[in-house]
Amino acid sequence: MDIFIQQVVSGLATGGIYASLALALVMIYQATDVVNFAQGSMAMFSTYLAWSMLQAGLSYWVAFFATVIIAFVGGVAIERVIIRPVENAPILAIVIVTLGLLVILTSVAGWFYSYIQKPFPSPFPSKPIRIGTVVFGAHDLGAIGVTLVILLLLFLFFRYTTLGLAMRAAAQNPVSSRLCGIRVSWMLGLGWGLAATFGAVAGLMIAPVVFLDPNMMGGIQIYAFAAATVGGFTSPLGAVVGGFLVGITENLVGTYVSVIGTELKLTVALAMIIIVLLVRPSGLFGRTTVRRV
């Protein structure tokens, strides 16, 4: 039972990271109908920037917040400079552009920082936390906390601010939004900025676990795809729930099904994608809007 609880908590920790990245994917997908394949490598790149800052002697949280801000600005810049020119191109073209971005970011990171894995520090104490007979990793609990704070901030932003409302409106109905005076293309830029921001947080939280290397987000991105598919690509809430579900399932299956172990864990994500697509293609929270005409 102790092992079960430990595995669930550790699943929640990685699940939160999948959830953040899945949310980033869903946000951009809702606004532009495009799946951003570069989301993971953008996060990886941000994490390298944080690493550089830490090497330069900055304290962890200074580097953390600086990275978050740079990621936001970088996300907006990518939308403005790279995505905007192909905005009206067929969706496939934009997807290829994001794939190109993935390759470029990965190669640049590899060229600049080399492909050798680097350890990345956790801001949380390394001593495990013991509650009763159960032992939790402090980093796991910290990552869960950070994820929850980010999700809460994001929820409050979209639910209660006028800018958040305008972003939702722009994603839903660009023509009407323009008629309300909303600068739709800036809203898309902001969306990319926000997505890059929690991608970066996900990178910072996972790097201590998987180590820093240019391909570190490859697997994570597949889990994030699984999370978004499970929850439904049209639902931010679904992406979050999907993220935690995938994280927990992956951990439990890895622990209790000996054939799979840690080596074949990634197949769990792929299996989940396939099962959801077969049984409920719109995902658990996929929207079927009720409309009267």
Partner 1 sequence: MPDPAETPSKRPALLEAQALEAQYGWTRVLHGVHFAVEAGGITTILGANGAGKTTTLRAVCGMVKTRGEIRFEGRRIDGRATEDIVRLGIAHSPEGRGTFVDLSVEENLRLGAYARRDRAGLAEDYARVYRYFPVLEQRHRQQAGTLSGGEQQMLAVARALMSRPRLLLLDEPSLGLAPLVVREIFRIVRAVNREQGVSVLLVEQNASIALDLADHAYLLETGRVVMSGPADELKKDDAIRRSYLGY
> In the complex, which residues of this chain contact partner 1 (CB under 8 A)?
162, 165-166, 168-169, 172-173, 175-184, 287, 289-293
Q: Which residue has the tokens 């909303």?
A: 182
Closest approach, Cβ 236 to partner 1, in A, equals 12
Cβ contact 244:148 at 8 Å: no
Residue 68 is encoded by which pair of tokens?
Answer: 């978050």
Closest approach, Cβ 177 to partner 1, in A, equals 7
Of 141 and 167, nearer to partner 1 (C-beta) is 167
Of 9 and 184, nearer to partner 1 (C-beta) is 184
Of 88 and 289, nearer to partner 1 (C-beta) is 289
Burial of residue 88 (CB within 10 Å: 0-12, 13-18, 19+) is exposed
Taking Cα atoms as reference points, which of 40, 70, 236 lies closest to residue 157? 236
Closest approach, Cβ 207 to partner 1, in A, equals 36
Of 45 and 285, nearer to partner 1 (C-beta) is 285
Taking Cα atoms as reference points, which of 72, 18, 74, 98 lies closest to residue 197? 72
Of 162 and 258, nearer to partner 1 (C-beta) is 162
Q: Bridge partners of 123?
A: none
Residue 158 is encoded by which pair of tokens?
Answer: 């979209």
Q: What is the CA radius of gyration of the chain?
A: 19
Closest approach, Cβ 173 to partner 1, in A, equals 5
Closest approach, Cβ 176 to partner 1, in A, equals 4
Of 30 and 249, nearer to partner 1 (C-beta) is 30
Closest approach, Cβ 69 to partner 1, in A, equals 26
Closest approach, Cβ 29 to partner 1, in A, equals 15
- CA-to-CA distance for 240 and 151, rounded, in angstroms? 8
Render 183-244 in DSSP notation, one character per residue: -HHHHHHHHHHHHHHHHHHHHHHHHHHH-B-TTTHHHHHHHHHHHHHHH-TT-HHHHHHHHH
Of 175 and 279, nearer to partner 1 (C-beta) is 175
